[in-house]
Amino acid sequence: MATKDAVLERAVDLARRAAEEIAENPSDVGEHRGSTLESERLVIHRFACTARGYRGWHWTVSVARVPRGRSATVCETTLLPGDDALLARPWLPWAERLRPGDLGPGDVLPFKPDDPRLVPGWQPADTAEAELIPLSELALARERVLSLTGREEAAARWYRGSQGPTSSGSLAATAACGSCGFMVPLAGALGQLFGVCANEWSPDDGRAVSLDHGCGAHSQTDAEPESSQWPLPDPLIDDSRVDPMTLDREVVTTAEPVESVEPAEPVAQSPVADEATPAVE
């Protein structure tokens, strides 16, 4: 078992200078937090880190000496977190950090050979999956097509989104997209519930919309409003109601009646005076 090494334990100043060399500012190296004997002739000194954002971190400097040596030598200097240190979130690969909408021009998603949203386009994965894939979606030109999981996830995402029946524009519409002449039906299983809007005046132009979605650009804008399964909520303040109020008015009387004053007749101007008055240009 290794015993205490007096030479290495006294090398605090040497360890501090080594930590200050790698620190951005020498003031980032704080007070000495003690030393630990790791093995024979090897001691680790720890210093508090005072840099902003590194609460609970400490500088770690390992010093050693040769057998029968009287001087210490710095082996390694690093910054390590303590028990109450502020740590960053666990690192995740780029493919797992991506979220919908993060992909920009020139970015390429990593290939997933086992993506559950896709199945082989020329041969179903199993017998159960083969019964659920329409013949129109078995594409020889595409290696993979949407699986049942992929279709269900897409349908749920589209139906809950802004192109579904619960958006504010859809609730205010007088008719649904299913009766609009600008709606282009989709082929396959998703066509039972969705289509693509082809009206340039619609805010949903070029997007997949549910058949019970709606907007103000319907092809039959004179259609009567239809009842909706998702009615608009009642307003917090009802402006259509008028609350009657009784006002106590005081009748003001005067002691003497006020005589009416007739307006004075206008005085006719003499035409001579008008002719004598010079015109102002």
pLDDT at 104: 79
Tokens of 218: 């319907």
**Phi-psi sector, 50: left (phi>0), alpha (psi -120 to 50), beta:** alpha
* Side-chain-side CA neighbours of residue 125 (13 Å): 15
| Residue 281: band (very low, low, confident or very high) from pLDDT cuts 50, 70, 90 | very low
- Cα 226 from chain centroid? 34
Render pLDDT for 164-200 as a digit per residue (tens, 0 to 9): 998 888 888 888 999 999 999 998 889 999 999 999 9
The pLDDT assigned to 247 comes to: 73
Mean pLDDT of the chain: 80
Nearest C-alpha neighbor of 64 from the set 11, 135, 16: 11
Distance, in Å, from the CA atom of 48 to the CA atom of 15, rounded to the nearest integer, reads 13
In this prediction, residue 238 carries a pLDDT of 65
Pair of tokens at residue 151: 């279709």
CATH, range 6-81: 3.10.450
**Residue 269: is its pLDDT beyond 80?**
no
- Whether 228 has a pLDDT exceeding 70, the answer reads no
Residues of the chain with CATH 3.10.450: 6-81
User: What digits encode the pLDDT tens for the residues 17-50?
Assistant: 999 999 999 999 999 999 999 888 999 999 999 9
In sequence order, the 6+-apart residues with CB closer than 8 A to the CB of 179 are 218, 220, 223
* For residue 59, pLDDT beyond 50: yes
Residue type, 211: L
Rounded CA separation 32/45 (Å): 8
> What is d(CA 243, CA 235) in angstroms, rounded to the nearest whole number?
17
pLDDT of residue 200: 93
Q: How confident is residue 262, by pLDDT bands cut at 50, 70 and 90?
A: low
Sequence-distant (6+) residues with CB within 8 A of 178 are 195, 211, 212
Least confident of 26-35, 49-58, 140-149, 202-211: 140-149
Rounded CA-CA distance 230/171 in Å is 7
The 29-39 sheet, strands edge to edge? 29-39, 42-49, 57-64, 73-81
Tens-place pLDDT, residues 95-128: 778 888 887 788 777 788 888 888 887 655 455 5
d(CA 194, CA 36): 68
What is the reported pTM? 0.47
pLDDT at 226: 61
Contacts of 95 (CB under 8 A, 6+ apart): 109, 110
